[in-house]
Structure 1
Amino acid sequence: MLSSTICTVVSVAGLGIAALTAYRKRFLAATRIAAVSLVPVGLAMTGVIDWLTGVVFKPVVWAGFGVLALSVVLFMIARMAERHSLKAGGSRKERRAAARQQGPAAVAPKASAPSLGAGTRSPQPAAQAKGRSGAPEEDFSDIEAILKKHGI
């Protein structure tokens, strides 16, 4: 009840200031002041003021805010400790988990290396040369002919 009375008094004072501002021919400013001065009465009429005073003056609510703040602080401490342990190397289990998160290694790491140029070939190892016949070179000869035809 007291909060509603205070809100009404604040609104009436604001409307009085708006009337004085309008008397000075500053109608735009008077309209803004009137709009702002009606907010406390509107909040009191909707019950928001009673809800806010109930929240502010209840110790259980403040204890709940304290518990929420404590949980946020503990979460932040755990994150900082996790980052510190990963920087320091951590345990073997943590390192394996970090390696799994990084993803698999590249399948062909030299695949993105630039080509050697036209007409040069990299030497094949002896084991690969003995194990295969000349078929792959014949397959590539058609492709090379097409590339040479287009000037590539």
Structure 2
Amino acid sequence: MLTGTVCTLLSVAGLGVSLLVARRRRYATAMRLAALSLVPVGLAMTGILRLIINMTFNPVAWVGVGVLGFAVLLFLSARLADRSRKGAPAAEPGTPPVAAKGASTPALPATGRKGAQAAGGADDFSDIEAILKKHGI
């Protein structure tokens, strides 16, 4: 009963503020404020707020949350242990094989503009220089 009253008062205050903002002709902001101010009443009317409050002040519920968290940690650690025991997962078909740790990677041939930039910096501005010379600059 008390939570419903508090939520109603919060919503009324929020709607009042949104009306004041709307009088300044800031309608989009006023609509956002109105939407946010209706949330407490909606939570109170659906009963979700009561569920949240009961869970917040219930130590058994918090122990349950801890147990669920511990279960997730156990599950994730079991997956990590399983992966480390089996090694790396198999590569997808069509992907190149992974090189060994000490092996050097072969250089890829330079193609196009990216190749010119990677090979050196000499050809980077040749196009720009040609345009400038053409215009006499």
Question: 2:2, 2:69 → 1: CA distance?
Answer: 32
- Note if 1:33 corresponds to 2:33: yes
Q: Distance in 2 between matches of 1:14 and 1:38?
A: 8
Give the letter aligned to residue 16 of structure 2: G
Scaled by the length of structure 1, the TM-score of the pair is 0.51
Query: What residue number does 1:3 align with?
Result: 3
Map 1:111-150 → 2, pairs under 5 A: none
Superposed, 1:1-152 pairs within 5 Å as: 1-87=1-87
CA distance in structure 1 between the aligned counterparts of 2:8 and 2:54, rounded to whole angstroms: 19
In structure 1, C-alpha distance between the alignment counterparts of 2:35 and 2:3, rounded to whole Å: 20
**Alignment size in residue pairs:** 87
In structure 2, how many angstroms separate the alpha carbons of the residues matched to 1:51 and 1:20? 33
The one-letter code matched in structure 1 to 2:5 is: T
The Cα shift of 1:5 comes to 2.3
RMSD (CA atoms): 1.7
Alpha-carbon displacement from aligned partner over 1:81-131 (angstroms, at most 9, x marks no partner)? 2222234xxxxxxxxxxxxxxxxxxxxxxxxxxxxxxxxxxxxxxxxxxxx
5+ residue gaps, structure 2: 88-137
Distance 1:5 1:69 in 2: 35
Offset at residue 8 of structure 1 (A): 1.5
TM-score of the superposed pair, with normalisation by structure 2: 0.56
Within 2, Cα distance between the matches of 1:27 and 1:85? 60
Question: In structure 1, how many angstroms separate the alpha carbons of the residues matched to 2:78 and 2:34?
Answer: 51
Cα distance, 1:17 vs structure 2: 0.7
Structure 1: segments with no counterpart, 5+ residues: 88-152
